[in-house]
Amino acid sequence: MTGEEEIASESVAVIGAGAWGTTLATILADRYRRVTLWVYEPELAEAMLRTRENAVYLPGVQLPSAVLPTRSLQMALRDQPLVVFVVPSHAFRRVLERGRSSLSAEALLVTATKGIEVKTLATMSQLMQELLPPVHHPRVAVLSGPSFAREVAGRRPTAIVAAARDGAVARTCQHALSCETLRIYAGTDPLGVELGGAIKNVIAIAAGVVDGLGLGTNARAALVTRGLAEMTRLGTAMGAQAATFAGLAGMGDLILTCTGDLSRNRGLGRRLAEGAKLPEILAASRAVAEGVNTCRSVVRLAERFGAEMPICHAVHRVLFEGQDPRTAAVQLMTRDLRFEGG
């Protein structure tokens, strides 16, 4: 795209039918006559066609008639001018490899996945740059911000960010996805937007631990503030803009995920603090808590870029090294004292 364009189409594709993907498909049905929604699980796709509801990930929300669930990735992608990817980060590479040959050369490609690939430490837009032909690279955008799926599906007012290297592409995405209750701001720092959306899930696990241990709202406020400092520290070391983390994709999403009762990652942290073990927590839910895998990636990125991230390291110790959550909290509070900017 050489300038801001409108998506001249009555059709759009959403790839991934978790809570957020199903919600985006439902919202986009207000704007587009046909929204093709790719569903990974065969039995879920059949049930959605039959009942017009995603009873697994978004129960109680009826699918508009414009939403067409399908199991065929190729059919979902073919000739689509706008494709929104909302698959879990651990499956993103596999889905993109399967579907890339079906993508239109002119398509605007948007990732709404909040995560970092564990093996390569790549964000989802970086995976797109790696796996897709160069013709697609200028048309990649990212979508993130404070947005619980159920509230968006319920038409509660929500503001998020669409970012691309080219501001005109970001504006095209903004206009293509905004609606009456979903306000989208445009930005030109896709790396910062993606890192904010990923790292906040790790901090939210820590916030859940704080709540589960009954440490109080003072402790939670301190955690969120210092979590924002960690997020900004790593992001700027990797080349993102500091201002991005003070906006919707950073501070906004961090506040929501660390305080909202609908947060899966905060809920996971609470259960850890109450004595549950990670495998049993993960086995009890089909929904993905992205912060678990992202924690592995963030700790490795912090080491690679020399960014000090004590909260993320503490979460890593609790998740993967068997440390007691209360011990981790004590260690954070008794670290060497320093100036706030450090």
CA contacts within 13 A on the Cβ side of 127: 28
Contacts of residue 338, defined as CB under 8 A and 6 or more positions apart, other chains included, come to none
**DSSP 8-state code for residue 304:** H
Compute the distance between CA of residue 111 and CA of residue 161 in angstroms, rounded to an integer: 12
DSSP 239: T
Using alpha carbons only, what angle is made at residue 255 by residues 267 and 171, rounded to the nearest 5 degrees?
A: 115
Q: Which of 114, 119, 200, 277 is catalytic?
A: 200
C-alpha distance from residue 299 to each of 35, 103, 202, 269, 289 (Å): 38, 34, 10, 17, 17
Is 119 part of the annotated catalytic residue set?
no
Largest CA distance in the chain: 60
DSSP 129-175: HHHS-GGGGGGEEEEESS--HHHHHTT--EEEEEE-SSHHHHHHHHH
Asked whether the beta carbons of 182 and 30 are under 8 A apart, the reply is no
| SS3 call for 79 | coil
Closest by Cα among 25, 97, 58, 82 to 286 = 58
Active-site positions read 200
